[in-house]
């Protein structure tokens, strides 16, 4: 599956008022300072689409995904050269608590960190019913709410479009 | 419902049998149940399971597999301070051999991400008692040694195979795609071992390895492999073969640098009209943009017989397994839709030429991947949910 434009043109209604996705200064802090783990359940994705930050990149990852750190770095490197400051959000699907933090060390520069709370296929189906548990699964939301999604590395064209 | 399904002896063996603590396994310090469970028949025909209980402790249980289940009390095994992987494709396993030999293996995740050790506990009294766990591989670097599989061959040799990254770390400046598959062989039930031996370079890093024995008792392995240009198809090999003597077994041409975490299934296939002796294979892949779990028959060398290729009749199918006895073939998988996870059976009585489909069970909570298990001509599927461990016999 290639990284592709999603048919869904997401309607992003606003950005204020959703505590779980709130964009606060401390969440931009480096990983080494403090990192708050936020729960990601079956309701979270819909809320993030409505009121979450944008532009934003969501990387869904797992504790065994050794391909994920390099893909995250590719996305981060692109954003570091960009005038916009998109949120870089990592969602750990199979680990929680200290075990999740252990793996978070691979994602330096992320601005928010979620972990799945609940039955993984059920949560996954709220994000994309056709997505098997292949990781990394990356969702790019641009400043207008347009969504691109796919597994593996986003193409340079996808990243460019995301940051426009 | 089809006639074979009507005849299906669905023996819900278990069930109230495991006490609640044993049913809702957890990793230490985790709220998420760790339900990944290994299953095997012992030589006397009892069905065994091993997994984690609610306290994250490794246990074994067994039952007779005729009539109502009478599970033994869970036997908690002493594993010291080991953390034990029991989630998804990484599960504790149990295998029985001759001379009362039995082994349990598991991956012990280490503090550094993506690292682990393959640990083994052995028994010389048919599983009544198990010794202390020990690390199987000679290589003791803090690197990936994970996703092990274990089986005895027809001569009683014990094979342990696993995903190993020693070759990647050996030359950090040189790109090395994926990991490698290594093997370890013991001729005395795990008391002593040959040195670590490489089976193949460039395996995928995070998928289970399927093992199957042919009619002569030789063991074969099937794993997701990283072919040139990051194509993640499957490779097949005789476990006794020299390194890198594998055969490509799938041709999805799935080019992706990602972790599918979706390993294949493999089972021996005797000759059948129109098809030579070989193997049945199931796997997940994306072919021409279409994701699916697919079935194909392999020849004895592991090459697919393309005219037997077909997708399972469920777009949501995940984590399929396959097993066969003579011309009977059973394929099981789970799929999630509308809040319910279902356990599916696709069954053939003509060597995989045609299949009938049925649903064996459903659950709304956490659940493990379904596991097929076999003792001679008897086949069963074991499915652990948050509430119970189900065992369904697949009737002739």
Whole-number Å distance between alpha carbons of A65 and B113: 10
Chain B: closest CA distance from residue A39 (Å)? 12
For residue A133, list chain B residues with Cβ-Cβ distance below 8 A.
88, 260-262, 318
pLDDT at residue B298 tops 80: yes
Q: What is the pLDDT of residue B24?
A: 59
Q: Exposed e or buried b for every residue in B162-181, given b needs 16+ CB within 10 A? A: bbbbbbbeeeeeeebbbbbb
Cβ-defined contact of B205 to A121 (cutoff 8 Å): no
Residue range of the domain that includes B79? 3-394
CB B120 within 8 A of CB B133: yes
- Which residues does B360 contact at the CB level (< 8 Å), separation at least 6? B10, B332, B343, B344, B345, B381, B383, B390, B392
Residue with tokens 């659940």: B367
Q: Around Cβ B326, how many Cβ atoms within 10 Å?
A: 12
Whether pLDDT at B319 is above 50: yes
Give every CB contact of residue A133 below 8 A, 6+ residues apart in sequence. Answer: A62, A93, A120, A121, A124, B88, B260, B261, B262, B318
Checking if the pLDDT of B28 tops 90, the result is no
CATH number at residue B17: 2.130.10.10
How far apart (Å, rounded) are the C-alpha atoms in residues B43 and B220? 21
What is the value of pTM for the model shown? 0.89
Q: pLDDT by residue (tens digit) across B116-173?
A: 999 999 999 999 999 999 999 999 999 999 999 999 999 999 999 999 999 998 888 8
B237 and B221 Cβ atoms separated by less than 8 Å: yes
Q: Can you tell me the distance from the alpha carbon of B307 to that of B298, in angstroms, rounded to the nearest whole number?
A: 11
Q: In chain A, what are the domain boundaries?
A: 4-18+31-163
- Band of the pLDDT at A85, cuts 50, 70, 90? confident
Match 């392995």 to its residue by tokens.
B221
Q: How many CB pairs under 8 A join A and B?
A: 90
Q: Is B291 in the A-facing interface, judged by CB distances under 8 Å?
A: yes
The fraction of chain B above a pLDDT of 90, given in percent, is 85
Indicate the pLDDT class of residue A81, thresholds 50, 70 and 90. Answer: confident
Mutate to test the interface with A, among B29, B32, B202 (most CBs of A within 10 A): B32
The band of B292, judged by pLDDT with boundaries at 50, 70 and 90, is: very high
Average pLDDT, chain B: 91
B278-289 pLDDT, tens digit per residue, is 999 999 999 999
- Total number of domains constituting chain B: 1
ipTM above 0.90, yes or no: no
Alpha-carbon separation of residue B195 from A65, B59, B192, B241, B250 (angstroms): 29, 29, 10, 15, 30
The predicted pLDDT at position B275 comes to 82
Residue B29: pLDDT over 80: no
**pLDDT of B19 over the 60 cut:** no
Tokens at B63, concatenated: 């039952």
Task: Say if CB B253 and CB B228 are below 8 A apart.
Answer: no
Output the pLDDT for position B68.
67
Question: Would you identify the CATH topology of the domain A4-18+31-163?
Answer: Glutaredoxin (3.40.30)
Query: On the CB side of A16, how many CA atoms lie within 13 Å of its CA?
Result: 0
Residues 27-46 (A) with a CB less than 8 A from some CB of B:
none
First to last CA, chain A: 24
Greater confidence, B268 or A4? Answer: B268
Q: How confident is the model at residue B274 (pLDDT cuts 50, 70, 90)?
A: confident
């Amino acid at each position: 599956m290639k990284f592709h434009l999603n048919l869904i043109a997401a309607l992003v209604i606003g950005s204020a008022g959703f505590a779980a996705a709130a964009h606060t200064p401390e969440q931009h802090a480096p990983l080494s300072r403090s990192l708050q783990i936020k729960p990601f359940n079956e309701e979270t994705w819909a809320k993030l689409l409505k009121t979450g930050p944008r532009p934003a990149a969501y990387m869904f990852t797992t504790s065994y995904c050794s391909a994920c750190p390099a893909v995250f770095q590719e996305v981060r490197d692109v954003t570091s050269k960009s005038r916009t400051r998109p949120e870089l959000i990592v969602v750990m699907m199979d680990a929680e608590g200290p075990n999740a933090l252990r793996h978070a060390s691979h994602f330096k520069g992320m601005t928010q960190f979620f972990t799945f709370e609940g039955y993984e296929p059920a949560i996954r189906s709220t994000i994309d019913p056709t997505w098997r548990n292949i990781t990394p699964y990356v969702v790019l939301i641009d400043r207008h709410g347009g969504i691109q999604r796919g597994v593996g590395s986003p193409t340079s064209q996808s990243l460019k479009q995301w940051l426009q | 419902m089809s006639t074979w399904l009507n005849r299906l002896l669905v023996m819900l063996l278990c069930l109230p049998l495991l006490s609640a603590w044993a049913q809702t396994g957890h990793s230490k310090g985790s709220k998420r149940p760790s339900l990944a469970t290994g299953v095997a028949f012992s030589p006397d025909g009892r069905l065994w399971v091993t997994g984690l209980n609610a306290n994250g402790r490794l246990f074994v249980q067994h039952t007779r597999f005729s009539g109502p289940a009478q599970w033994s009390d869970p036997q908690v095994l002493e594993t010291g301070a080991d953390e034990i992987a029991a989630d998804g494709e990484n599960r504790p396993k149990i295998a029985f051999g001759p001379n009362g030999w039995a082994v349990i293996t598991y991956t012990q995740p280490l503090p550094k991400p993506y690292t682990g050790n393959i640990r083994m506990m052995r028994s010389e009294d048919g599983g009544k008692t198990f010794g202390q766990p020990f690390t199987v591989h000679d290589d003791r670097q803090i690197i990936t040694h994970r996703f092990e599989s274990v089986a005895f061959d027809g001569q009683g040799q014990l094979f342990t195979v696993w995903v190993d990254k020693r070759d990647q770390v050996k030359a950090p400046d040189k790109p090395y795609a994926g990991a490698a598959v290594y093997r370890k062989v013991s001729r005395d039930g795990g008391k002593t071992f040959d040195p670590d031996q490489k089976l193949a370079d460039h395996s995928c890093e995070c998928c289970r390895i399927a093992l199957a024995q042919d009619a002569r008792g030789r063991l074969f392995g099937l794993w997701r492999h990283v072919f040139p240009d990051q194509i993640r198809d499957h490779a097949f090999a005789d476990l006794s073969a020299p390194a890198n003597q594998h055969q490509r077994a799938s041709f999805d041409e799935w080019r992706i640098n990602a972790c599918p975490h979706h390993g294949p299934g493999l089972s021996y296939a005797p000759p059948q009209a129109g098809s030579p002796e070989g193997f049945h294979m199931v796997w997940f892949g994306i072919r021409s943009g279409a994701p699916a779990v697919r079935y194909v028959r392999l020849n004895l060398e592991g090459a697919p017989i393309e005219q037997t290729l077909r997708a399972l009749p469920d777009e949501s199918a995940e984590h399929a397994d396959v097993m066969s006895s003579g011309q009977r073939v059973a394929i099981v998988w789970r799929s999630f839709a509308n809040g319910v996870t279902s356990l599916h059976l696709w069954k053939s009585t003509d060597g995989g030429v045609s299949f009938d489909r049925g649903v064996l069970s459903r659950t709304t909570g956490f659940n493990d991947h379904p596991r097929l298990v076999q003792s001679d001509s008897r086949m069963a599927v074991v499915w652990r949910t948050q509430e119970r461990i189900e065992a369904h016999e697949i009737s002739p």
